[in-house]
């Protein structure tokens, strides 16, 4: 469910508003609450939305019923003042009353709060801090809150004003397409304000210009996608740099167009192999499934650090794999060694929300899960994420996963060991692998010995206690 579905429900005829809102699924950007809820308790979803990507809170709906707000008119002022009275610093929220028909068949109203993403971490007066993750307002522990503060420092960038940018610098066709996709009947300015793409002073934000600018690279020269196809499985350097002639592309332009153009090029350049398919015939299939690399590309574009000057997104296509590298490390709340456990947090909340409206991207955690599912669906080894000092690289390898019978004999986590060895650009010792897995050294050694017994890897060292000994794949 995307934010534009909420807007469409709120714009429906009075008699349909409540029913349509009740029919929507609560998610990253939408929540429902009863009018009976105390004002201090409304502060929980307010802070959770502000600490994430913003969102819409509708008050007057509960337990499948349209309560409305007219029976509790005295409480409305308390609810409107909740951001000032019960959030620190005050959450920026715009309240409006939307006409509806309640369950008694009477004309009534719902109180709707539209919450902006905050540039700072918001909390309750008692110090509790919440973050919107999926359909939950999740309370953070001390470490998570500390990491969120760090991430918020990075996340401010897409909300900064794009200096000197005016309406004439925007692509009117993209804006009109966006308005149609959202179903908005208002002005373009109103739509941009609703998605926090304008500052309070009415200036275009960096996010707005990256999404809808005619030529956003004049302010963000690093905001482009480079797609390169290599002839060999090794990248090579200098004179041995094996780039296929005519297969080095630089894609610029606003984000929606750049993603579309890059995906067209990648789909054409990814190698195919003939294999037996469900029909019983041999047909050509890409070495890496389209949905896997496309989700990886979209995640890279939406969640990259646009404040890092001089770096760009790289998609490298090899005969046996696809690698996607994005500037900026994972958010502090994420552990790259355990990508399936990554919590929802967007470095560029405004970019993420608009791309969700356009159905370009999924949620961060959901997108990663989809990449894993697509690779497993075609019997390939799991994706691997590798984080350096300033970037994240995704490895999508055209390597079959372990045979089911072999996997059953191995300790849990053995496949991860193989994935780490495949993804590394150098030979790894036991300590390196233990650190990447997040396991103890004895637990890692047990998995390495089990893989060695299956003749999948081999140990290479001069003596049993050689500190420079490494593990090497046999495939």
Which residues, at least 6 apart from 182, have a Cβ–Cβ distance to it below 8 Å?
3, 4, 7, 191, 357
Please report whether residue 150 resides in a domain.
no
Please report whether residue 306 resides in a domain.
yes
Q: Residue 235: pLDDT above 60?
A: yes
> How many domains is the chain built from?
3
Judgement on whether residues 389 and 428 belong to the same structural domain of the protein:
no
Q: Residue 463: pLDDT above 90?
A: no
Query: By residue range, what is the domain housing residue 228?
Result: 217-401
Encode burial over 395-431: b for 16+ CB neighbours within 10 A, e otherwise. Answer: bbbbbebbeeeeeeebeeebbbbbbbbbbbeeebbbe
What integer pLDDT is reported at residue 364 of this predicted model?
Answer: 44
Judgement on whether residues 242 and 374 belong to the same structural domain of the protein:
yes
Determine the average pLDDT of the residues in 83-101: 95
Out of 340, 367, 401, pick the residue that ends a domain.
401
Q: Residue 238: pLDDT above 90?
A: no
Determine the average pLDDT of the residues in 101-119: 93
CATH of the domain at 262: 3.30.565.60
Q: Are strands 272-276 and 384-387 parallel, antiparallel or unpaired?
A: unpaired
What integer pLDDT is reported at residue 363 of this predicted model?
Answer: 46
Judgement on whether residues 320 and 451 belong to the same structural domain of the protein:
no
Q: Which of 178, 237, 260, 193 is nearest to 425 (CA)?
A: 237
Determine the average pLDDT of the residues in 57-63: 95
Tell which wins on pLDDT, 370 or 274: 370
Neighbours of 81 (CB within 10 A): 13
Judgement on whether residues 385 and 413 belong to the same structural domain of the protein:
no
Out of 107, 140, 173, pick the residue that ends a domain.
140
Q: What is the pLDDT of residues 297-339, one digit of tens each?
A: 999 999 888 887 778 999 999 999 999 999 887 765 556 666 6
Ranges 73-87, 173-187, 224-238, most confident: 73-87
Judgement on whether residues 394 and 414 belong to the same structural domain of the protein:
no
What integer pLDDT is reported at residue 344 of this predicted model?
Answer: 58
Out of 140, 164, 195, pick the residue that ends a domain.
140
Please report whether residue 129 resides in a domain.
yes
Judgement on whether residues 9 and 114 belong to the same structural domain of the protein:
yes
Token pair for 417 = 């060991």
């Amino acid at each position: 469910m995307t934010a534009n579905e909420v807007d469409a429900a709120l714009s429906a005829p009075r008699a349909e508003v409540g029913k349509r809102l009740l029919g929507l699924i609560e998610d990253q950007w939408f929540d429902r609450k009863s009018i009976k809820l105390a004002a201090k308790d409304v502060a929980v979803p307010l802070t959770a939305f502000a600490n994430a990507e913003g969102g819409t809170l509708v008050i007057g709906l509960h337990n499948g019923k349209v309560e409305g707000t007219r029976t509790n008119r005295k409480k409305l002022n308390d609810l409107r003042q909740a951001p000032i009275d019960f959030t620190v610093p005050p959450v920026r929220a715009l309240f409006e009353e939307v006409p509806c028909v309640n369950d008694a068949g009477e004309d009534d109203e719902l109180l709707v709060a539209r919450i902006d993403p905050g540039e700072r971490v918001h909390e309750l007066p008692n110090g509790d801090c919440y973050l919107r993750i999926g359909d939950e307002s999740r309370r953070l522990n001390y470490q998570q809150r500390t990491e969120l503060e760090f991430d918020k420092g990075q996340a401010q960038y897409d909300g900064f004003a794009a200096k000197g940018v005016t309406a004439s610098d925007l692509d009117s066709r993209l804006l009109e397409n966006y308005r149609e996709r959202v179903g908005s009947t208002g002005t373009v300015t109103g739509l941009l304000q609703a998605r926090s793409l304008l500052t309070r002073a009415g200036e275009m934000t960096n996010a707005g210009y990256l999404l809808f600018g005619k030529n956003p690279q004049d302010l963000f020269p690093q905001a482009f996608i480079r797609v390169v196809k290599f002839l060999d499985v090794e990248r090579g350097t200098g004179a041995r740099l094996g780039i296929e002639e005519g297969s080095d592309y630089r894609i610029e332009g606003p984000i929606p167009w750049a993603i579309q153009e890059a995906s067209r090029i990648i789909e054409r350049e990814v190698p195919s192999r003939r294999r037996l398919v469900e029909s019983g015939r041999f047909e050509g299939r890409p070495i890496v499934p389209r949905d896997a690399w496309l989700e990886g590309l979209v995640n890279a574009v939406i969640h990259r650090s646009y404040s890092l000057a001089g770096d760009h997104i790289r998609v490298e296509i090899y005969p046996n794999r696809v690698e996607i590298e994005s500037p900026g490390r994972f958010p502090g709340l994420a552990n790259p060694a355990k990508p399936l456990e990554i919590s929802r947090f967007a470095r560029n909340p405004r970019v993420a929300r608009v791309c969700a409206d356009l159905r370009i991207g999924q949620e961060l955690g959901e997108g990663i899960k989809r990449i894993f599912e697509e690779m497993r669906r075609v019997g390939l080894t799991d994706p691997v994420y590798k984080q350096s000092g300033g970037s994240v690289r995704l490895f999508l390898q055209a390597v079959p996963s372990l045979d089911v019978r072999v996997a059953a004999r191995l300790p849990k986590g053995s496949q991860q060991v193989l994935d780490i060895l495949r993804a590394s650009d150098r030979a790894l010792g036991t300590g390196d692998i233990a650190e990447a897995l997040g396991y103890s050294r004895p637990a890692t050694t047990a998995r390495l010995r089990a893989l060695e017994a299956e003749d999948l890897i081999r140990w290479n060292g001069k003596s049993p206690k050689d500190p420079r000994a490494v593990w090497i794949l046999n495939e």
